[in-house]
Structures are given as C-alpha cells and as structure tokens.
Amino acid sequence: MEIRSRAPLRISFGGGGTDIEPYLSEKGGVVLSTTINRFSFGTLEPRSDQEIQIESLDVEMFSKFLASQKLVFDGKLDLVKAVLKKLKGWKQGFSLFLHSDAPPGSGLGSSSTMVVTLLGLFRQWLNLHWDNYDLANLAYEIERIDLGIRGGKQDQYAAVFGGFNFIEFYHDATIVNPLRIAPQILNELEYHLLLCYTGKTRLSGNIIASQVEGYLQKKESSLQALDELKAITIYMKNALLQGKLNLFGELLHEAWMNKKQLAGAITNEKIDTLYHLAKSKGALGGKILGAGGGGYLLLYCPYNRRHLILAELEKMGVQATPFSFDTQGLTTWRV
C-alpha cells in the first residue's frame, strides 16, 4: 500500500505581514490569497520493520534512521523530523518520497505547504481525527514554534483549505472565509495575471525578523504600513467580489508600496528595476510574493499589454510560470 498527498502552493494578494505575531494578536490580521495548480507532493509506504527512509528531491537529500532513534534538528530534513516528534512515541518504519513544484524560499509558501502535505499523509495512514483547522494549526506550531522558523500564519491555512479565501487572524482564533467569486471574474483575473520567477530565492526568516523588530520598536513607518496593508486588503477583497479588476490591480500596487516600508530587504535593486520596467510598459500593479527579497514576481497587466510586458522581462532573465487557480486544497489518497 502507498499513500499519496498533495497540497497547493499559494499566491498572497494582500495582507502578508499582518498575519505575524505580535501584530495579529494586538490588532488582528487579514490576508487575501488563492491557491494555484503548483503543489507539494508526498508518498508514504509503510514498512514491516522500524527503519525510516526519507528522500527529498527539493533539497537533494536522502536519510534513513530507526523509529526508536532520538531525533535531532540538524538542518537535514528537519520538517519531517518535527512532524514525527509531534506525533510522539513513533514505532513503525516507512519510506517517504517528497518533492515540490517550487523551490524553498520562492515566496509561494512551499515549506509550510510541505508540512501540510506530511500531516495529510499521516492523517490518512493513521485515521487521525483532525479537521482542517486542527491540521493547519498543527502545521503552524510545527514550523513556527517547534522549529522556530520565522513567518506568518497564512500559508498553512491556504494549503489546507485551498481556493480563494479572506483569512482573519486573531490571538485566539483563525477564521477562513471562502469567497464566492463568479467564474467569469476568476477567468478574467487569471487572464490578467503574470507570474514570473526572478531566479533568486531568499531566507524569509531574516526579513521577517526585521519586520517584527520594526513593529516592536513602534517604528512609525512600520505601524502605518501594516495598518494600511490591512485596510487595502479589505478593499481588494471587495473589488474582487464586485469584479472591479483594474481597481484590484491598482490596489496590488498600493499594497506593494506599503509592504516595502516594513523592512529594507523586502526589495532590492533587481526587484525594483523589474517592477519599474513592468509598470512603464503598462502593468497596473504587482508585488514580490512571500516575505520578499526574491522568488516570484506577480503582476496585474492589461490583456493587450501582458505579452509585451513579459517580452521585456524575459530580456532581463525572468521566466514566466504558467498557472491556474486551484480550489481543492489538501488532498490525500491510497494506492
């Protein structure tokens, strides 16, 4: 028997940064996001002995150890080790094969999505009674608390629930609000969006640490930017539901201008050059996905300028990534 699991990567349109402590506990955060047809995958095959074998294509790593061994976080497949530690008292061996459609640090939430994929495998194998909120929160605890990886709370919930969501974050609750968007609006939005890989990934934890520091120090630019991001995200949600897509594109630009105020490393000379080039050729708005510093650039383009904008960006070494929206969220099955 084999068990397979996949969870979708996400595009965050607005609100990233307000889903990070302590802002979310003190003021409440909001994020508008969707999942896309790019995934993290996992296959688990139970063994009859106590040996655990793990192969990850993304980090080009293979490891094996006994289920009875004490697990140590040493930078080698720590996401898997943290999941096993959370399950406690593990005895049975298994083989695990992992891979993702995007590299770590690319801004699509790939690390969090992989934790969700892993938890999906074990929920299916062991018939664990976790609902989607339980699983998403467990994934958050594993990555942010157990492993101490700095970051927000949106990625885990996006990967589990899938689709277009307006997610609210509070000290004692997270609320996922699925958006009922007319199919023609989704088709039109997809037609206008351009997803480009800038060819550079980054350590998001360092950027987020700077962002949190600015908030803790009550830095005026950080406080104002986070409050503005929250307000803009609500406007973006309303524009999307009403089909006002050009306004949505313009709000993407406003959100990016505010996000850049949170930490210096969110942008750099290359990103600014690419973004200004896209704007000069007609893009209404856009942003670097995730914490910033590199990875994927998302742009909203007029339909008759999209190909021209892409042609200019490709001259700068940028690669377009075709995608479509995904609505399924975490999916597991037995083979």
Inter-axis angle of helices 269-280 and 306-314, nearest 10: 150
Token pair of 138 as six digits: 């467990």
**CB of 14 closer than 8 Å to CB of 31:** yes
| Beta-bridge mates of residue 158 | none
In the residue annotation, 131 being an active-site residue is answered as no
The string of DSSP codes covering 158-214 is HHHH-SSEEEEE-SS-EEEEE----HHHHHHHHHHEEEEE-S----HHHHHHHHHHH
The Cα 158–Cα 13 span in angstroms is 12
DSSP 70: P
Which helix H or strand E contains 224, and what residues bound it?
A: helix 220-241
Q: In what order do the strands lie in the sheet with 285-288?
A: 285-288, 296-300, 193-197, 319-320
In this structure, the number of other CB atoms found within 10 A of the CB of residue 169 comes to 24
List 19, 101, 155, 326, catalytic entry? 155
Residues identified as active-site: 155
